[in-house]
Amino acid sequence: MSPNRQAAVDRSAERAAPPPARAEALRVVNFDMARGQRFGEHEHDVHQLVWAPTGVLAVDIGAHSWVLPPTLALWIPAAVPHTTSASREARMRSVYVQPDRCPVTWAQPTVVAVGPLLRELITHLADPDLESDPRTRAEAVMFDLLRPVGVTTIDLPMPRDGRARRVAEALLAVPADHRPLEDWGREVGASARTLARLFSAETGMSFGRWRTRARLRASLEHMAGNRPLAAVALQVGYSTPSSFIAAFRQETGRTPGAYFAASAP
């Protein structure tokens, strides 16, 4: 979820999660998140693997956004500012990893597939009574199972000018809004030409392409929640599933089905 959408912001709980004890390479902490709850921007001194066994999470890092169904997790290196949110009720199972005990060397946020074995290992490692030797063995296997998957993010930089930003925020809230720039201009007090120039200069893309990306990024959360494709297309502003699929393929290089199949273990 974009930081500009309405959400309950928790500025303390997840950022204050305890790091792994020095005898452990990692620690697993559970967070039950309500619909719309968001942990505001924060960072950790340790690496983090963000995963939800139930529900759907979204992680925003700068202009990049990842939508995570239970088949996907996101590796966030230490000291990378991020926000985490739940578009519907979810349980986040967060794995915090000591950098000096970690064989994973990814310097950038990286999506990994969560198959049945990795799912069970994370659950196993969440047991506070797990003894030292079994824990060490399970940690080693867990690291071996972390494999990157090719999931393209749909980046959506926000305009800085207040007038253009009001338009962008309104479209994030209601991506199916079809009004042209002339109508938006009357609402925010700027000409259509001015708004078009602002979107191009401040986001690096035309207004039309920006709106398309806003719709497609909104569609990821709906599809991750297993909504029917026709319903998703209508929800984000497309009159037919075929027009939605064509737009999705043009931006990501894949159909929606292939996009999520690429994340499947």
Which pLDDT tens digits describe the chain residue by residue (265 residues)?
Answer: 333 333 444 545 566 566 665 568 899 999 999 988 999 999 999 999 999 998 888 898 987 888 888 888 999 999 999 999 987 788 999 999 999 999 999 999 999 989 899 999 999 999 989 999 999 999 999 999 999 987 667 888 899 999 999 999 999 999 999 999 999 999 999 999 999 999 999 999 999 999 999 999 889 878 877 789 999 999 999 999 999 999 999 888 888 887 766 555 4
Tokens found for residue 251: 């931006």
β-pairing, 8-10 vs 64-68, is unpaired
Measured distance CA(230)–CA(129) in Å, rounded: 47
Query: Residue 219 carries which DSSP code?
Result: H
| Angle of the 207-224 helix axis to the 162-173 helix axis, nearest 10 | 30
Q: What is the largest CA-CA distance in the chain?
A: 67
pLDDT on residue 3? 31
Q: What is the pTM of this model?
A: 0.73
Measured distance CA(46)–CA(144) in Å, rounded: 19
Q: Which CATH class is domain 8-145?
A: mainly beta
CB 45 within 8 A of CB 100: no
pLDDT on residue 56? 83
Q: Which helix (H) or strand (E) holds 75?
A: strand 72-76
pLDDT on residue 6? 34
- Which one-letter amino acid corresponds to residue 31? F
pLDDT on residue 10? 55
pLDDT on residue 82? 95
pLDDT on residue 220? 83
Give the dihedral sign, CA 130/131/136/137: negative
Instruction: For the sheet with 37-42, list strands across it.
Output: 8-10, 37-42, 82-86, 57-61, 64-68
Give the dihedral sign, CA 237/212/247/68: negative
Q: Measuring CA to CA, which residue among 132, 63, 124, 116 is closest to residue 95?
A: 124
Measured distance CA(60)–CA(21) in Å, rounded: 28
Q: Count of CB atoms within 10 A of residue 45's CB? A: 10
Measured distance CA(166)–CA(234) in Å, rounded: 23
Domain residue limits, the chain: 8-145, 162-261
What is the second-level CATH architecture of the domain 162-261?
A: Orthogonal Bundle (1.10)
